[in-house]
Amino acid sequence: MSAPPDLDSVDHDLLGLLQRNSRRTLAQLGEEVGLSAAATKRRVDRLERLGVITGYTVRIDHEKLGWTLEAFTELSVMGHSRMAEIEAAARDLPEVLRIFTTAGDPDALVHLRVRDMAHLRHAVDQLRSSGQVTGTKTLMVLSVWEPPERPTRPAP
Amino acid sequence: MSAPPDLDSVDHDLLGLLQRNSRRTLAQLGEEVGLSAAATKRRVDRLERLGVITGYTVRIDHEKLGWTLEAFTELSVMGHSRMAEIEAAARDLPEVLRIFTTAGDPDALVHLRVRDMAHLRHAVDQLRSSGQVTGTKTLMVLSVWEPPERPTRPAP
DNA sequence: AGTGAAACCAGAAGCCC
DNA sequence: GGGCTTCTGGTTTCACT
């Protein structure tokens, strides 16, 4: 495990700005943090090189696509299962957004997005059909709140 | 609630490509889906106009920034609390990634990212100090698995 | 709905200070 | 860190299928 690279407040501001809108131009970015476009490019290039910025992506409104339901399924698995095996139990479902293996009880938390209740039922059935899984408990998501994106913060 | 806009498979492919890397040029995008750059731009513009694409952002490796620990805290709250009040109980913590209110037990799931165990302890204390919260159970995340980004899928 | 071409110019890339 | 030049690539408009 390597020590975190030392980033100053300008770097953190840039990350916050890019997180809100990665299509700002270098000139715009520079203006907001008080740097020239060239200097800003050097900062951003460095953040990419350090692996702090791992990619550029697009935010998609999945509700608009008809995938309107989210859920979390808590998985309990056989005592001898290794983490990789737990992940394998859920990895192949297209409904899976993320799999979190966890310490304690339950053993994993599977974040799902589905079209409707029938679809959720089907996805949970798939999870339960894995040989590793000994039990599930599903929480249906009623609402999601996300914080406004702010500058990232240093780890002192 | 409005009906999902009708997108064809090219639109879904474009969304998948942009999700993997939103910095592709229109010419590159077009080549991969078999369209000209001009036609590709019309597609992307439409997806933005429809609100399917809600923004462009950057992926950040928070571990590299020293925020190495993730957790989920299940919240139980007073019986009379409304969803908005539940969210309010967690909204002000900078450690909060997302708040999911859920149907059943628990009442909400709070996704946290913290620097270390002492920091987690502090964050959970903050959650517990809300007048609404009657109990918490915290799951520490051991690993996170995310699927490779693929084309989005239609909702038939 | 799509194509290809041409013209324009913003902005990224690269180099020098 | 700034400033300058170069040239890619986004954007618009055209006639056309």
For B89-147, write each residue's pLDDT tens digit: 899 999 999 999 999 999 999 999 999 999 999 999 999 999 999 999 999 999 999 99
Torsion over CA: A52, A57, A60, A65 (sign): negative
Q: Give the domain CATH number at A91.
A: 3.30.70.920
C-alpha to C-alpha distances, B21 to A18, A30, A138, B10, B121, nearest whole angstrom: 14, 23, 33, 16, 37
pLDDT number for residue B140: 98
Q: Is the pLDDT of residue B56 over 80?
A: yes
Q: What is the pTM of this model?
A: 0.95
Q: Does residue B122 share a domain with residue B80?
A: yes
Give me chain A's average pLDDT, please: 95
Asked if residues A83 and A101 have their Cβ atoms less than 8 Å apart, the reply is: yes
Inside any domain, residue B54: no
Give the CA radius of gyration of chain A.
Answer: 20
- Name the B residues in 74-113 with CB < 8 Å from any A CB: 83, 87, 91, 94, 96-104, 106, 109
Nearest chain B CA: its distance from A88 CA (Å): 10
Inside any domain, residue A55: no
Nearest chain B CA: its distance from A74 CA (Å): 11
Q: Is the pLDDT of residue B25 over 60?
A: yes
With bands split at pLDDT 50, 70 and 90, how would you rate the model's confidence at A4?
confident
Strands, DSSP E only, in chain A?
Answer: 53-60, 69-77, 96-103, 108-114, 133-145
Residue A49, both tokens:
């090189």
Q: Which DSSP category does A4 fall into?
A: P
pLDDT number for residue B68: 96
Q: Is the pLDDT of residue A12 over 60?
A: yes
Q: Does residue A82 share a domain with residue A22?
A: no
Q: Does residue A131 share a domain with residue A67?
A: yes
Domain residue limits at A67: 62-140
| Structural domain count of chain A | 2
User: Rounded to whole angstroms, how far apart are CA atoms B120 and A50?
Assistant: 26
Q: Is the pLDDT of residue B1 over 80?
A: no
Segment A92-121 mean pLDDT: 97
Segment B8-13 mean pLDDT: 95
